[in-house]
Amino acid sequence: MGMRLVQSGEHSFVILEKSDGVGGTWRDNTYPGASCDIRSHLYWFSFDAQPDRSRVYAFQPEIQANIERLVDRLDLRKHIELGTEVTGARWDDAAGRWTIETAGGERIRARSLITAWGQLNRPTFRDIPGRADFRGDYWHSARWNHDVDLTGKRVACIGSGASAVQFIPEIAPIVSELTVFQRHANYVVPRMDRPYEPGERQEFLDQPDKLQESRDAIYWEHEGWMGAMKQGTPVAAEFTAQARAHLEETVKDPELREKLWPDYPIGCKRIIIADTFYPAMIRDNVHLVTDKIEGVEPTGVRTSDGTLREVDVIIYATGFETLSFNASLDITGRNGLALRDAWREGPQAYLGMSVSGFPNFYMLYGPNTNLGHNSIIAMLECQYGYVLQGLQAGDEQNAALDLRADVQQRFNAELQAELADSSFAGSCNSWYKTAGGKITNNWMGSVEDYKKATARLHVDDYEVVS
């Protein structure tokens, strides 16, 4: 967003960042094997210089380095205030300004407020009882403790989602025993990752058309995966068959194989793209436990069958608090309306960006903008363009734009109706939806659908507040 603001000629902005560095999720997740499951040629901004990529799927250090380079190249650091946690923001009706408050007691006045606080950065330990009683080391996957050497240790990994499947293969060869506690299995399809040959890398650098071709091919392939996000489609059947073949090729023990096979429709949870997870799970020193965790005790993890598995280290790969969209912060809009009250029945927005009652307030990666099938950067780019139009329209009218309540209601009724037969609505729990089954995180269609929906900001959808 900062890059697009600068490119559009807007220099009067500040980016408030609670941590001490840039990079967001790529800064937080330094666990062994952290990588992006979207191929590297696609996983970058279309409107920025394309970086050199060492491999088909980039690892975290490469992505983080590219982010740092981008920030420096565009001289964005002068706009960024690190270590500045926003605790609340209040819209002043009379002044037509936001006042943003920080944990350090700073107050910042702004015409517009854009949030970019992510969906996957508030680690949750899922209230597993006894966590604090454990005498060994423990941490969350997104807060990896690199000071502890896992060599020769007995390690428990709680969870088997996208994060766990990336670090399990990395730590399995060095630990003495690795016990993976899996509540629900995931569909895993092959990644087919490899490093690019030096000649290929040079070719992509020298011939931007070739890189663009590769990027486009990956994008359109992913758009085709959208079929797997609808229940009962041929694409869903194809993906299911691919995942089954991948499992059967690697896991020969029938009992382990069935434990690793999901019991819900594909796409309901995020499809895992990984080459190395199943090979790790068949190692002699790796044990898969599917009994329910009763709790953590000083020396290990006890399951519902009464077994205590003694371990030295527990790694919680238990995911993130994804459903509040930070509404717990004190965000107050027009007439004293609190965001948390506006969202009493669950977070919702218009196109994931605007909320009625909150003028000149835009969210990036807000409600219902996550994807199961394509790169989130493609969605963010749509949002940058839409937000820029909103800011420009506000400037032109010397006013603030407040989304009309009826526009928000109609949009969300259609969205939820469309999502009702999506794979996300299938018979599984996931971070995409509430316990009651309302899908608050995922978009209903393809990226192309979202591009069309967000291409033009219609000022008529908004009330112009003077």
Is the distance from CB of 44 to CB of 50 less than 8 angstroms? yes
Applying the rule CB under 6 A, the residues between 28 and 57 that interact with ligand NAP are 35-37
β-pairing, 80-81 vs 15-16, is parallel
User: Helix (H, G, I), strand (E, B), or coil: what is residue 130?
Assistant: coil
Residues in the chain: 466
Binds ligand NAP by CB under 6 A, chosen from 268, 317, 388, 439: 317
404 binds ligand NAP (CB under 6 A): no
Closer to ligand NAP by CB, 319 or 394: give it.
Answer: 319
| Share of the chain residues as helix, strand and coil, in percent rounded to the nearest 5 | 35, 20, 45
Nearest distance from C-beta of residue 371 to ligand NAP, angstroms: 9
Distance between CA 195 and CA 201 in Å, rounded? 10
The encoded tokens of residue 408 equal 């928000």
Pick the binder of ligand NAP from 24, 319, 357, 385 (CB under 6 A): 319
Residue 191: CB atoms within 10 A of its CB come to 18
Residue 188 burial by Cβ neighbours in a 10 Å radius (0-12, 13-18, 19+): buried
Shortest Å, Cβ 445 to ligand NAP:
18
Binding status of residue 293 toward ligand NAP by CB under 6 A: yes
CB of 212 to ligand NAP, least distance (A): 22
Instruction: Give the angle subtended at the CA of 212 by the CAs of 206 and 214, to the nearest 5°.
Output: 100
Report if residue 429 touches ligand NAP, rule: CB under 6 A.
yes
> Nearest approach, Cβ of 4 to ligand NAP (angstroms)?
22
Cα separation, 305 vs 318, in Å, equals 21
Which of 2, 136, 161, 347 contacts ligand NAP by CB under 6 A? Answer: 161
Residue among 156, 159, 160 nearest 138 (CA): 156
Kindly tell me the sign of the dihedral angle through the C-alpha atoms of 33, 36, 38, 41.
Answer: negative
- Cβ 188 to ligand NAP shortest distance, Å: 12
In the shown chain, the binding pattern of residues 117 to 136 toward ligand NAP, with x for contact by CB under 6 A and - for none, equals ---x-----x-x--------
Please say whether the beta carbons of 317 and 180 come within 8 A: no
Query: Which x/- pattern, by CB under 6 A, does the window 240-279 give for ligand NAP?
Result: ------------------------------x---------
Stretch that binds ligand NAP, among 168-176, 179-187, 342-350, 397-405 (CB under 6 A): 179-187
- Please report where in the chains the tokens 């309901």 appear, as a residue: 268
> Closest Cα partner for 41 from 71, 72, 63?
63
423 binds ligand NAP (CB under 6 A): no
CB of 323 to ligand NAP, least distance (A): 11
Q: Nearest distance from residue 106's CB to ligand NAP, in Å?
A: 31
CB of 37 to ligand NAP, least distance (A): 3
- Applying CB under 6 A, the residues found at the interface with ligand NAP are 35-37, 120, 126, 128, 141, 158-164, 166, 181, 183-184, 270, 293, 317-319, 429, 431
